[in-house]
Amino acid sequence: MKLNVTDFLFAMSFALDAVEQEISGGKVQSGHGKRVAYMLMKMIQPLHLSVPEQVTYIGCAILHDNGLAEYIRGELELQYTQSSKLRLHVELGEKNMELLPFDIDIKDIILHHHENADGSGPLRLKGDEINEIAHLLHIADIVELACNFDGDIDLEFEKMKNMLEDCKNKMFSEKAVSLFEQNITKDDSLFMRDENFTMTRHLQNFS
Ligand SMILES: [Fe+2]
Ligand SMILES: [Fe+2]
């Protein structure tokens, strides 16, 4: 069977979105995975990566919370304790990604996506011990969760910039903050508000 990677990624993105919505009772904004993927795509643009590398890392961003549904199923079955939540979520996600046929090395990207630059994350890794793409995924993930994409654009963009500065060298590495600030504009923020916003067109640019 021939697998179309783009179609597969977006089917997965849609499914994860539906699961997150269902589980959170609508508290999580829909489109989390694709907005995280869009921000990651913008941040890696100056890194001179090959097209397969870019597509693979964008795919990882779309699927970064793939361990969520499995983790919640475990929680419902009372297998997991409160303190191990984030750790289990990244470990399950990393394990699932090992099953996917990516040619590019994606080891540790999902496993490290909740690590903080200062070592206060679930695995207590810090700085260069954290996968480089995971640093970027982490910042996109947190910004997406912190911003209200229905709120006032100027206020939200200001809030985003303040958060980046406040969290620099704590939650986020200096390099990740600088790649974010240099490559994600207010227009991007506006663009991600469109309820019909899709990554499909952007991925087609790579084929
Ligand atoms: Fe996550
Ligand atoms: Fe996430």
**Distance between Cα 128 and ligand 1 center (Å):** 20
20 neighbors 69 (Cβ within 8 angstroms): no
Q: Which ligand is nearest to the CA of 113?
A: 1
**Distance between Cα 24 and ligand 1 center (Å):** 14
Least confident segment among 9-13, 104-108, 110-114: 9-13
94 neighbors 66 (Cβ within 8 angstroms): no
Tokens 């640019």 found at: 205
Helix (H, G, I), strand (E, B) or coil at 168: strand
Task: Dump the DSSP string for 79-146.
Answer: -S-GGGHHHHHHHHHHHHHTTS--SS--TTTTTTTT--TTS-STT---GGGS-HHHHHHHHHHHHHHH
As a whole number, the mean pLDDT across the chain is 85
Q: Which ligand is nearest to the CA of 61?
A: 2
pLDDT reported for residue 148: 85
Residue 83 pLDDT greater than 50, yes or no: no
**Distance between Cα 103 and ligand 2 center (Å):** 24
**Distance between Cα 145 and ligand 1 center (Å):** 10
Q: How far apart are CA 50 and CA 193, in angstroms?
A: 29
**Distance between Cα 4 and ligand 2 center (Å):** 24
pTM, full prediction: 0.87
**Distance between Cα 50 and ligand 1 center (Å):** 26
Q: How far apart are CA 157 and CA 189, in angstroms?
A: 7
Ordered structural domains, the chain, with CATH: 5-191 (1.10.3210.10)
* Single-letter code of the amino acid located at 17: D
Helix (H, G, I), strand (E, B) or coil at 183: helix
Residue 9 pLDDT greater than 90, yes or no: no
